[in-house]
Structure 1
Amino acid sequence: MSLTVEILHSKSLKPLFNVQVNSSDSISHVKKAIHSQKSKLYPDRQMLKSDTRGKALKDEEKVADLNKDSDSGKVRLYFKDLGPQVGWTTVFLTEYAGPLFIYLIFYLRPSIIYSNSNAKYLNVTHLACACWVFHYAKRLLETVFVHRFSHATMPIKNIFKNSLYYWGFAAYVAYYNNHPLFTPPLFGSLQIYIGLFSFLLNELGNFSIHLAFRDLRPPGSKVRKIPLPNSNPFTILFNFVSCPNYTYEIGSWISFSIMTQSLPAALFTLAGAYQMIVWALGKHRNYRKEFEKYPRSRRAIIPFFL
């Protein structure tokens, strides 16, 4: 059976499009029909809602399951233009490649940055560079080979905002850590190697969680399941928090800050922790709404606390 879908602007309520679809068609078909009428509005750029204050409709939802307008008999949807989009893989590669190469410029070419470029690096300076490069190289490889994204794109403006954050902090931390006047941590080698060992453990934990998340979603699908521990001991943290990847990530940067005793690194850790806590709280709320049997004892990011 054919249905008429009336598309209105989500804020002004101005009529924008009328499209004809079959009752068995999905929201994805509606987006393609809009795209056929206005070529710049490709599907990833569109957000459709059944109510102006409601949540965005998923592409797989059926048009027939939506409420019809009682007067016109049409299905009425509300449209928002999300603006030009860019693929998540491109975003992450840009965000993570920048910090890696920026840090290496400070480390490998100090004569470009500092007037006193003949000072010898401390052991902790070499270790800090190795840890920084390891972290962002891991992120780049995970982006290409591990992550499976539920959404194909994000607004292109976000790539500039996110890159400014990552690239700016990379320069700030690298300038301090590679400076000729950089001093070793207060407790010397003990503090350095405790920080290094903790950093590597948290990085391994973070990688283990990313693998567990990947295995929850078959390739090419948008399946969502309750994340649970598997045979990898690092995934035990799923018993306590919804976003252990963020828990391990914050742990890595706390460890890096301890190892280097670096104020810029500590500020980077605080800024990143704040953002990850916000993300984790949002994801935790969504899990509890989406899954009726979601474990109620879990916290969002910090076991037993938050």
Structure 2
Amino acid sequence: MASWRGLPHRAIMSSSRISFFEVEILDCKTKQQLCFLDKVEPNHTVNDIKLMFHKCYPQWYPARQSIRLDPKGRSLKDEEVLRELPVGTTATLYFRDLGPQIGWTMVFLTEYAGPLFVYFLFYFRMPFFYGLAKAFTSSPHSVVHLACCCHSFHYIKRLIETIFVHRFSHGTMPLKSIVKNCFYYWGFAAWLAYYINHPLYTPPSYGKKQISLSMIMFLICETGNFSIHIALSNLKIDGSRSRRYPFPTRNPFTWLFFFVSCPNYTYEVGIGNSSLSEHVLIRLH
């Protein structure tokens, strides 16, 4: 007689009479039963279970659900398979409501569109910022207009990357988090724009040399940042959500991977420094 020992788990499942699982879903906080799913196929994923749970509770769509093995444990990944989880044929899972969610694409579009709008409010000198006497006037300094072009280019580039380049591992984020994210991006843009477009603003101390060097640094870092985003996007060109290690390509702007883990942020720092260098020693009479 053949022995059961040494047989793969799948072989045991196929040979046994048990062909379905029973899944009990409890509330993480109260431990009360929310749903009982019978005849769940062993090869169903956590995402399949979320969809079944969603039919019972339409207000909790899959992206809003956190399904766990333990009330205080980690959230199970959508691609994890039921039969591979450390549960019996009657599985007990725990549900937690993550709150309203918003897609990452919409998050980025909101974060990056805001600074464009906010900056132009100061650039065109709306009357509630600098007073009625200076309302809708323009600066006589060319560097101020150059700064507006650079700022606009940076965020338009980000918007284009969000739509055509970025590939997100996670589909959504909590809606409440977008408030603090937008506060940072929009607030920093307002702080920067207020001083650069101020009627009393004077150009950098070192004149055109400082502006030219800063402009070159800005363009190099923007190109490098874009190159890194393309390289990271190509890691998930097959649509997979699995994590892969990025690596340098033939593009010399990606060779920064030899020295740092996140060159896109290194280039971001360079972009910020070039902007500050272009306007260093801002003087308001």
* TM-score greater than 0.5 by the shorter chain: yes
Equivalent residue number for residue 93 of structure 1:
109
Equivalent residue number for residue 3 of structure 2:
none
Q: Does structure 2 retain, via aligned residues, the 8 Å contact 1:121–1:180?
A: no
- Choose from 106, 109, 114 the match for 2:122: 106
Equivalent residue number for residue 159 of structure 2:
140
- Choose from 161, 169, 190 the match for 2:188: 169
Which whole-Å deviations, capped at 9, do the CAs of 1:27-48 have from their partners, x for residues lacking one? 0111011101100111011111
- Choose from 34, 50, 53 the match for 1:31: 50
- 2:83 matches 1:83: no
Aligned length in residues: 260
Equivalent residue number for residue 47 of structure 1:
66
Structure 2 Cα separation of the partners of residues 55 and 189 of structure 1? 55
Letter in structure 2 aligned against 1:80: R
Q: Does structure 2 retain, via aligned residues, the 8 Å contact 1:31–1:43?
A: yes
Q: Does structure 2 retain, via aligned residues, the 8 Å contact 1:31–1:46?
A: yes
Which whole-Å deviations, capped at 9, do the CAs of 1:177-230 have from their partners, x for residues lacking one? 100111222222222222221111111111101000110002533132111111
Equivalent residue number for residue 80 of structure 2:
61
- 2:33 matches 1:15: yes
Structure 2 Cα separation of the partners of residues 74 and 261 of structure 1? 66
SS state at 2:248 partner = coil
Identity of aligned residues (%): 50
SS state at 2:189 partner = helix
SS state at 1:6 partner = strand
Distance change in 2, residues 1:42/1:177 (3 Å):
same
Q: Does structure 1 retain, via aligned residues, the 8 Å contact 2:103–2:171?
A: yes
Shift of 1:14: 3.4
Q: Does structure 2 retain, via aligned residues, the 8 Å contact 1:176–1:262?
A: no
Structure 1 Cα separation of the partners of residues 196 and 98 of structure 2? 40
Equivalent residue number for residue 22 of structure 2:
4
Shift of 1:18: 2.0
Equivalent residue number for residue 252 of structure 1:
271
Q: Does structure 2 retain, via aligned residues, the 8 Å contact 1:121–1:178?
A: no
Structure 2 Cα separation of the partners of residues 10 and 209 of structure 1? 40
SS state at 1:48 partner = strand
Structure 1 Cα separation of the partners of residues 32 and 273 of structure 2? 51
Structure 2 Cα separation of the partners of residues 87 and 149 of structure 1? 10
Q: Does structure 2 retain, via aligned residues, the 8 Å contact 1:148–1:219?
A: no
Aligned 1:150-189 pairs, distance under 5 A: 150-189=169-208
The range that moved more, 251-260 or 46-55, is 46-55
Equivalent residue number for residue 11 of structure 2:
none
Can you give the 5+ residue segments of structure 1 that lack an aligned partner in the other structure? 264-306
TM-score (norm. length: structure 2): 0.85
